[in-house]
Structure 1
Amino acid sequence: MRSALYVCLQDDDRIAAFDIDAQTGGLTAMADLSVAGGPSVTALAQDRRTLYVGHRGQPAISSFRIDQKTGGLSLLGTIPQKNAPTFMAPDRSGKFLLCAYYQGKGVAVYSLTADGAVGAPSLDWLATDNGAHAIATDPSNRFAFVPHIANLNDNVLEPRRENPGPNMILQFKFEANTGHLIPNSPFRVDQPAGAGPRHYCFHPSLDLVYFSNEQGCGVTAYRLDAKTGALSAVQTISSLPAGYSQRNTCSQIHLTESGRFLYVGNRGHNSIAGFAVDPGTGHLSVIGQVPTEAVPSAFAIDPSGGFLFAAGTATGRLASYRIEAETGALTSLETLAVGQRPAAVQPVRLPS
């Protein structure tokens, strides 16, 4: 199996591309691509043939064809946006792209054309609130959720400022035939004070959803009612070591395809926290925290589930780790200088 890794360098206006060695996790640089407008967020089409890139400096969404032999990227098209997309994900059918807008206070759904490009205008626009940070459909493609953080513009490189956010998760029904989002009932899942749900991922076989809590510095597992699409919290666990009290916010959250191990980024503590997932219940237990580059806002697990790559927003470096198959512990491999403000890390499985 061959895989490529794409790293969006927001302040360099380019995407760095690497070939991943399937045995060692080593990275070999491929041709970079100049991408104007501050590339900062990515999503991968369900058929793995199209890469979607959100631009932060000049708000837009671009679609790139992925060459299945070389991993090279070629532009299919770009659609301007009023606000920069914060998070993007295709629905499970591959017909639609869902987008969340942190500053734009809402979510949108776009149709995807026959060649995989994003169509315009959007099919749906729903106003939510400040700090809308993610949206994706569940494995059944019937429901979607939009987390909103608890403190806006919470940059760990600056002194903390109180700028309260909505601190909630909104629940939607998703019409897979039309791409429309419909508020579910209940619509709002309120959070404990200071939690700040940010990103989430679904367990591959259990009706569970795991959310990273940006301000709460941990993970909350929710039971997903398969009939109604309603979430109910079942466990919250810290991403930090006992006794740590300095500035920190959580970033992304990712689960291995096997569902055995889950990871979340700590910005401030500057680590990747790992958790073992009970195969029967989905209950989380702490593996530990491994130091990484400063401000790991973006990281990803390669398609084999054997390696993890974490980008340091503050250092411009990419750290590689082996995921130990039996324990889920992370073993440090190499660290590469990649460029200014790496904001997204996207692995892609290519045909052998």
Structure 2
Amino acid sequence: MKIRIKLLAIVFLFFSLLSCKQQKKDTKQPETMVEKPQKTENIELLAGTYTDSMSKGIYKLFFNPVNGTLENKGLVAETVSPSYLDISKNQEYVYAVNESNPGQVSSFKWNNDHTLLEPVSQQPADGAHPCFVELNKEENMLAVANYTSGNVVIYKIDQNGQILPSPQNKKHEGNGPVLPNQESAHAHCSKFSEDGKFIYIADLGIDKIISYPIDENGNPGGMQTALDLDKGDGPRHFVFHPSKEIVFIINELSGSVVSARVNNQTGIFERIDKKSTLPDDYTGNNACADIHITSNGKFLYASNRGHNSIAVFKVNDNGMLERIGNEPVQGDWPRNFTLSPDEKFLLVANQNTNNITVFTINPDTGLLTYTGNQAEVSKPVCLKF
């Protein structure tokens, strides 16, 4: 009997000790959890350049969309003066003008690990110094504006990114009062309408926006004047409002932006407003270049070469413009700029100082603030995400 009691006591003691040990383990304070910073995927940015100096073609940069840092990853395509680029919607194909005389237009495809752009095709631009290239929405047509020869060339594109031969060629004639810039026609921008019914051309030499209707087979019809600008304006680029039938045109020679209503049935524009891109007290030389609008249609940006600034405009619902500031670009000769995909940043390609600078965008005011971030690229003149 005593032995049985001793055994029961030993068993009880064993389980009591085990229970206490488990309780102690369960009541142990958990270790402090340290949140690891989320890994941010860099975004690829392509820079088109002039190759008359140190540059050899198209360069890839990594952009951090959180802190706005920028890193040059080097040459991805060796090609002559790819001064303007367009990228397919699937990000696999890149199209570039080769701004030379005679000019060419080239297409490339990314290799498997996105380290090189491999050549796909190249065609003559049928003109001199092509300076703009754009795909239509269906990505089966490509339009190229030739500056010196004053013509636009429209190519067919196949599903493998091949630029097909025998394009449609439309030549402009005329001149303007500002010499030597307007001694002849100078096509500078070629854009398709959203519905694909028209192609619009900004011709700097003749102070006009030209439109061509596009038929169901992709062939351009007869030329018509979509809008006459003021003499000596020198229209260079334009951008469409994201939700309204309004277009905004930047004038290189007069340092101004014009807004106009768009008639999508006729291809004709009707002027709304015109505002200077410069402060009232500025008297130096200037040549406007690029223009972009936010996806909500509230803010418009325009680059000044000479004043070396980005002009910031507030866009009213009726298309009227209010210039609310000019931000120095931290470089010289801002030929081209772009908004980041989330529109939190604006990046500027400064041609003469060989740098790309990064600014934050205030979502409430539209105003810009320099981040201190920049990257070195020789003769950058086009930026595309």
Under a length normalisation based on structure 1, what TM-score does the superposition of the two structures give?
0.87
**CA contact 2:125–2:146 (8 Å) conserved in 1:** no
Match of 2:118 among 52, 55, 74: 74
Unaligned runs of 5+ in 2: 1-40, 174-184
Given the alignment of the two structures, is residue 315 of structure 1 paired with residue 370 of structure 2, yes or no?
A: no
Aligned equivalents of 2:383, 2:114: Cα separation in 1: 18
Q: Deviations over 1:66-118 (max 9, x none)?
A: 45864742222222334332111111221100111111221111111111232
- Number of aligned pairs? 328
Q: Which residue of 2 aligns with 1:127?
A: 171
User: Which of 302, 326, 330 is the equivalent residue of 1:264?
Assistant: 302
Give how far 1:209 is off: 0.5
2-structure distance, mates of 1:6, 1:311: 11
Distance in 1 (CA, whole Å) between partners of 2:220 and 2:77 is 34
- The 5 Å alignment of 1:42-61 reads 42-57=85-100, 59-61=103-105
1:190 lines up with 2:190 in the alignment:
no
Find the counterpart in structure 1 of residue 219 from structure 2. 180
C-alpha distance in 2, partners of 1:241/1:198? 20
Equivalent residue of 2:189, what SS?
coil
Residues 286-301 of structure 1: matches in 2 within 5 Å? 286-292=323-329, 293-301=331-339
Quick check: 2:107–2:120 contact (8 Å CA) kept in 1? yes
What is the CA distance between 1:331 and its match in structure 2?
0.9
SS at match of 1:181: coil
Cα gap change, 1:191/1:88 in structure 2, threshold over 3 Å: closer, same or farther? Answer: same
* Structure in which a larger fraction of residues adopt helix: 2
Q: 1:35 aligns with which of 55, 73, 78?
A: 78
Aligned mates of 1:180, 1:265 — CA distance in 2: 33
Preserved CA contact (<8 Å) 1:139 1:202: no
Q: Report sequence identity in percent.
A: 26
> Which structure is larger by alpha-carbon Rg, 1 or 2?
2
Identify which of 52, 56, 63 aligns with 2:107: 63
- Structure 1: gaps of 5 or more residues: 150-164, 348-352
1:216 and 2:260 equivalent?
Answer: no
Map 1:1-352 to 2 at 5 A: 3-11=43-51, 12-57=55-100, 59-66=103-110, 70=114, 72-82=116-126, 83-122=128-167, 124-129=168-173, 130-149=185-204, 165-175=205-215, 177-183=216-222, 186-187=224-225, 189-278=227-316, 280-292=317-329, 293-347=331-385
Greater relative CO (CA pairs within 8 A, separation 6+)? 1
Deviations 1:260-318, CA, capped at 9 Å, x for gaps: 2211110110001111223x323322221000121111111122111111111111111
Does structure 1 retain, via aligned residues, the 8 Å contact 2:226–2:268? no
Q: How much does 1:119 deviate?
A: 1.7
What amino acid is aligned across from residue 126 of structure 1 in structure 2?
K
| 1:62 aligned counterpart, secondary structure | strand
Structure 1 residues 127 and 229 mapped into 2: Cα distance closer, same or farther (>3 Å)?
same
Instruction: Tell me how far 1:335 sits from its aligned partner.
Output: 4.6
| Alpha carbons 1:147, 1:197 under 8 Å: kept | yes
Instruction: Give 4+ residue runs of structure 1 displaced > 6 Å after superposition.
Output: none
Cα distance in 2, alignment partners of residues 216 and 71 from structure 1: 42
Q: Supply the distance in 1 between the matched residues of 2:60 and 2:303 (Cα, whole angstroms).
A: 22
Shift in Å, 1:188:
5.6
Residues 74/250 of structure 1: CA separation in 2 closer, same or farther (3 Å cut): same
Instruction: Read off the aligned partner of 1:99 and give its amino acid letter.
Output: V
8 Å contact 1:54–1:61 — kept in the other structure?
A: yes
Are the aligned partners of 1:92 and 1:141 in contact in 2 as well (CA < 8 Å)? yes
